[in-house]
Amino acid sequence: MPEDYLPLAFQEPDPFKMFQKDPGMVLLNDKPWNMEAQAHLLNDKVTPNKYMFIRNNGLIPDEINVSNWVVKIDGESAEQEKSYTLQDLKSKFKNYTYQLTLECGGNGRSEFNPPAKGNQWTIGAVSCAEWTGVRLRDVLEDVGIQPDAVYIAYHGADMHLSRNPNKESISRGAPMTKALQDETLLAFAMNGEDIPLAHGFPLRLVAGGWPASVSGKWIKGISIRNKVHDGEKMGGSSYRVPCETVAPGEKVADENMCIIESMPVKSLITYPKSGAMIDLGTPLKINGHAWAGEFEVGSMEYSIDFGSTWNLCNLQRPVNRLAWQHFDGTIIFPQKGYYEVWARATDSKGNRQPMVLPGWNPKGYLNNACHRIAVKVV
């Protein structure tokens, strides 16, 4: 068997072993594979594979042959049709490495009321790994972009759940402005190694700060479109929210739905794990991460009295644009009792995380309500 041929161990019944995930991860779905982290598992500054959520729409490709892997760039607004092997990409274009926050658009869906259909993500569908690849812009410019270009679309090698070869499981994309950003990569490595199978090996589009479904996996093609891409999961209620806010449970016509672009400001307390019991007088150190889609987090606060008073945390600047930021604080509790530590981030434009659920939408996207942990002082 050639070295670069990857036979898939689908006989392996244990997805945690198959995908090298920590046993503390939570399996939401096994066809397709969907798995999320818990807050305390996300304490690393750079998320390792074992704690990275999996969100798949279709079936992982059965066979991946790296030496034959070709990416075709085409589309109405491409100057020409041009194909690149993985080696072409790696050697022809300059390589870049960025830490990029990827959050599922539906992270937090489980809290919506009335409930929203789909995988019931709690808080763990977010990661910030270090991605290495080439700039999508460099590749598109090598092909040639016509002036009427509006959107890029990705095409992956994953199979539709029905195994119908004529159906794509997901084919989304981004407007040209996002496609041409410095940090938008065609990535071939994650955390310094080959991208893990479940995360798009051997090639993934990575567009940090936007719903992670924009970051297509197992990339076989990119189309430069002269209109907003109309691929699978670009329409209906998929990754779209009402253009005008609606009452919970309200029906919304397709034409009144708008595509989600930047994700909203959000944060997670990753230490300590919820449920900590400490002695009165012992200071409690907390830390975590905050992110704000296309923007930066400007300030970070915590409250131990359900929002009556807020205290500032130390907040670090991002390593690079679109990387999550780290915060920490030290809490002295005034007396014994049950507490909740609530965390609230504010982005550089002044938008704050709400303490209650944000606006309802049919598919339960964009829940950026404050994260909180339970603490008992004894």
Partner 1 sequence: MIRKPIHTYLAIAALVLISLGVIFLIIRDSGVETDDTMELIDNGVDDQNPIVDGIHVSTGLVEGEGLEEVVTNCTTCHSSKLIIQNRMGKEQWNATIRWMQETQGLWDLGEDQDIIVDYLTTNYPVFKKGRRAVLGDIEWYTLEGK
User: Nearer to partner 1 by C-beta: 135 or 326?
Assistant: 326
- Answer yes or no whether residue 94 interacts with partner 1 by CB under 8 A: no
Reduce the DSSP state of residue 103 to 3 states and report it.
strand
Cα separation, 129 vs 52, whole angstroms: 8
Residue 46 · residue 129 · CB < 8 Å: yes
- How distant, in Å, are the alpha carbons of 170, 244, 320 from that of 323? 25, 30, 6
**Residue of 340, 351, 352, 359 interacting with partner 1 (CB under 8 A):** 340
Give DSSP secondary structure letters for 13-58. Answer: --HHHHTT--TTSEEEEETTEEEE--GGGG-SSS--GGG--EE-SS
Residue 43 CA, chain-centre distance (Å), reads 16
Size of the residue set binding partner 1 (CB under 8 A): 41
**Residue of 25, 28, 37, 206 interacting with partner 1 (CB under 8 A):** 28
- Answer yes or no whether residue 272 interacts with partner 1 by CB under 8 A: yes
- Answer yes or no whether residue 146 interacts with partner 1 by CB under 8 A: no
- Answer yes or no whether residue 161 interacts with partner 1 by CB under 8 A: yes
User: Nearer to partner 1 by C-beta: 217 or 371?
Assistant: 371
The number of residues in the chain equals: 378
CB of 303 to partner 1, least distance (A): 14
Cα separation, 371 vs 183, whole angstroms: 28
- Answer yes or no whether residue 115 interacts with partner 1 by CB under 8 A: yes
User: Nearer to partner 1 by C-beta: 92 or 376?
Assistant: 376
- Answer yes or no whether residue 317 interacts with partner 1 by CB under 8 A: no
Reduce the DSSP state of residue 67 to 3 states and report it.
helix
- Answer yes or no whether residue 282 interacts with partner 1 by CB under 8 A: yes
Residue 158 · residue 216 · CB < 8 Å: no
Find tokens 């609530």 and name the residue.
342
CB of 295 to partner 1, least distance (A): 25
Stretch that binds partner 1, among 94-102, 141-149, 173-181, 270-278 (CB under 8 A): 270-278
Cα separation, 315 vs 343, whole angstroms: 12
- How distant, in Å, are the alpha carbons of 90, 197, 263 from that of 106? 33, 22, 10
> Mask of contacts with partner 1, 215-244, x by CB under 8 A?
-----------------x---x--------
- Answer yes or no whether residue 17 interacts with partner 1 by CB under 8 A: no
- Answer yes or no whether residue 325 interacts with partner 1 by CB under 8 A: no
User: Nearer to partner 1 by C-beta: 1 or 356?
Assistant: 356
Q: Report the amino acid identity of residue 215.
A: S
* Contact residues: partner 1, CB under 8 A: 27-32, 111-115, 117-120, 160-164, 167, 232, 236, 272-278, 282, 284-285, 340, 355-357, 369, 372, 374, 376
